[in-house]
Structure 1
């Protein structure tokens, strides 16, 4: 039995297994848990979505989906997850290796499409990759939200000054554009940098251009 000794934050993550075959769910759950992963099994897309609604979104997670499910199919479930804005990476494990379905799943962002029977090493490697991707997605999303929150905390005038700076205006040009004094521009610019937690003009521009939502 493989043992995953990676001590990264993904080890606290959850692997959702969505398959209508109880034997497959049990087999995958046993395999993954014996390799140090946590699992949560669901027999249909509908039950999985219900459970996901009540889950802790801060927990790193990924999903292994069967293509053919009762009711909503695995492909339709993938579409629903995208529609609802869930960031968790998904992969398909299926005994039905239709090329058309595989291509559609991958085009929609699936991490992989694996046919049964599969090798233990392949599944464990896939899960590690997906949980690592999920963790990085969470970190990036958290940084974006923090930056956007800081930007939204600026006053109307501070946003106007920042917009001018991002457009490449000098302090003198900002003063002329907004019909305020140079000292007032300097004061607003200092306040903007302080609120956004940056100490250089280049960092200010990078943050504003990357995460800018000033309206």
Structure 2
């Protein structure tokens, strides 16, 4: 067992495993790679606790299915989802299932490092859910009613066009509201804004 923080990389692409492994090892992490979610699940009971980088698009069992299995087995290791498709709906599902972040491939190394740091912070000190929710409500207080409606739509996993149709506004206006939301919440990515929304109980209208 290494005294370095451990990262489990689950991705069927050898180039991704090698690239991410090299970056993380040179950043001071221990790394174990897995070619599939199935192989990881077979060994998870005996796997050393760490942070999981989980690819969404994999044969046999995709990342969401792996995440569901981890939840059902009571595995509480923090999960960071990797997607090459920028699918907001998939990212929302992953975060509703407990993922701490999602990153688009090819991922930014700074964003990856920050997400991993959050993962280990979560492992080391879980904050009380009620405290997180109260903090989120305070932050969301800066939003207008319309901006909260747009954020609710995003938390439901809807694309801009659907949100625009539901609210009777143009997709361009939704984009403007999204930009304002990011600024007011001081969120550097959609996943940061979604974390705040979920903590406040948004996005519970559909599974």
- Normalised to the residue count of structure 2, the TM-score between the two structures is 0.57
Q: Provide the aligned C-alpha RMSD in A.
A: 1.9
For the 8 Å contact 1:67–1:96, the answer to whether it is kept is no
- Which one of 1, 5, 19 corresponds to residue 13 of structure 1? 5
Shift in Å, 1:52: 1.4
Secondary structure of 1:91's counterpart equals strand
Cα deviation code 1:55-76 (max 9, x no counterpart): 24xx4x1101000111111001
1:116 deviates by 1.3
Q: Does 1:133 align with 2:122?
A: yes
Which secondary structure state, in structure 2, belongs to the residue aligned with residue 96 of structure 1?
A: coil
Counterpart secondary structure, 2:113: helix
| Alignment TM-score, normalising by the size of structure 1 | 0.55
Gaps of 5+ in 1: 1-10, 141-215
**Aligned partners of 2:10, 2:91: CA distance in 1, in Å?**
17
Corresponding residue to 2:47 among 55, 66, 70 = 55
Aligned with residue 102 of structure 2, among 96, 102, 113: 113
Computing the radius of gyration from Cα coordinates, the structure with the larger value is 1
Aligned pair in 2 of structure 1 residues 12, 135: CA closer, same or farther (>3 Å)?
farther
Gapped regions of structure 2 (runs ≥ 5): 129-207
Q: CA deviation at 1:40?
A: 0.7
